[in-house]
């Protein structure tokens, strides 16, 4: 099953290349620049792939506050154009979105039907993509996920490992709670969804996040324990670590719909963390 993937070097795209093997056709920026939505649509029109996955995005959350127009083209206009092109060809389109489409209020896990209200430019740009995909009219699926980590690229796990090698104490936000999600698990879910949709599954909007929920500070503690790092860790409130973009306090995701419709259950992020640390040669 040849599958066209937008993205080559990102965390999820890298893992997709491993999951799909020879059936994956990855397009990097040189082949399809997401700042040029028409080029992305043209790539879909020219392919004989049986499904399309968009694993590329503008992910610099804080930079997006000053570059919202560019983020909106990449995260909003480009996926919308991809979805329309896929619909015109009659092939399924699967897209990665984010928990940042929600405002992070309350403590209950977010369900797919909950009201969206992004707090920042990145969230708004991703929401525009979701809306454009839904309006495209084809067979589409949107997979909202959160707190992605892997042995590749930039992510919280690698940042904590780097900082713990430089410092003997760290202060980490403890009042934002979410679902750390291994990129490999996301890639496997996308691959299975694309295959099911190519065989007639109608798609939809779904949530996929690692379990159990944990704070950033709790996640850091697990990293240090598993990597054998002796770091004095202090939990702090978000107010003590201001950033240009507001972050949601509650990024818990209810993943029951994906399991019911595709048989894909949420991953245990602790097992995924162990795999990543072993891949990095950092497992104690």
Q: Which residues of 202-236 are buried (b: 16+ CB within 10 A; e: fewer)?
A: ebbbbbbbbbebbbbbbbbbbbbebbebebebebe
Task: Give helix then strand counts, H and E, for the chain.
Answer: 10, 12
Contact 183/14 with Cβ under 8 angstroms?
yes
Residue 122 among the catalytic residues: yes
Give 73's DSSP letter: I
H or E segment and range at residue 224 = helix 216-227
3-state secondary structure 141-165: EEEEECCEECCCCCCHHHHHHHHHH
SS3 content of the chain, % helix, strand, coil (to 5): 45, 20, 35
Contact 248/100 with Cβ under 8 angstroms?
yes
Token pair belonging to 147: 């707190």
Token pair belonging to 12: 């999820």
Closest alpha carbon to 253 in 130, 112, 125: 112
Closest alpha carbon to 206 in 270, 146, 148, 147: 146
Catalytic residue (choose from 58, 100, 122, 206): 122
H or E segment and range at residue 178 = strand 177-178
Token pair belonging to 37: 């939505």
Instruction: Kindly list the catalytic residues.
Output: 122
């Amino acid at each position: 099953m040849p599958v066209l993937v937008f993205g080559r070097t990102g965390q999820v795209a890298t893992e997709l290349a491993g999951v799909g093997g020879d059936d994956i056709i990855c397009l990097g920026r040189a082949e399809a620049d997401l700042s040029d939505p028409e080029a992305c649509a043209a790539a879909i029109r020219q392919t004989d792939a049986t499904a399309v996955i968009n694993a590329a995005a503008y992910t610099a959350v804080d930079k997006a506050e000053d570059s919202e127009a560019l983020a909106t083209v990449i995260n909003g206009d480009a996926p919308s154009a991809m979805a329309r092109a896929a619909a015109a060809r009659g092939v399924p389109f699967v897209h990665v979105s984010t928990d940042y489409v929600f405002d992070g209020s309350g403590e209950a896990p977010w369900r797919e039907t909950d009201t969206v209200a992004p707090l920042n430019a990145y969230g708004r740009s991703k929401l525009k993509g979701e809306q454009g995909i839904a309006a495209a009219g084809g067979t589409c699926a949107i997979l909202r996920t959160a707190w992605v980590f892997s042995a590749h690229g930039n992510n919280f796990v690698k940042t904590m490992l780097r900082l713990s090698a430089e410092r003997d104490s760290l202060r980490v936000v403890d009042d934002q709670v979410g679902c750390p999600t291994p990129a490999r698990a996301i890639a496997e879910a996308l691959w299975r969804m694309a295959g099911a949709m190519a065989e007639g599954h109608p798609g939809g909007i779904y949530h996929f996040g690692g379990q159990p929920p944990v704070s950033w500070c709790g996640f850091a503690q697990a990293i240090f324990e598993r990597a054998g790092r002796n770091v004095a860790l202090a939990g702090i409130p978000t107010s003590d670590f201001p950033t240009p973009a507001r972050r949601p306090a509650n990024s818990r995701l209810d993943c029951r719909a994906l399991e019911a419709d595709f048989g894909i259950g949420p991953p245990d992020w602790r097992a995924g963390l162990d795999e990543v640390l072993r891949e990095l040669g950092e497992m104690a």
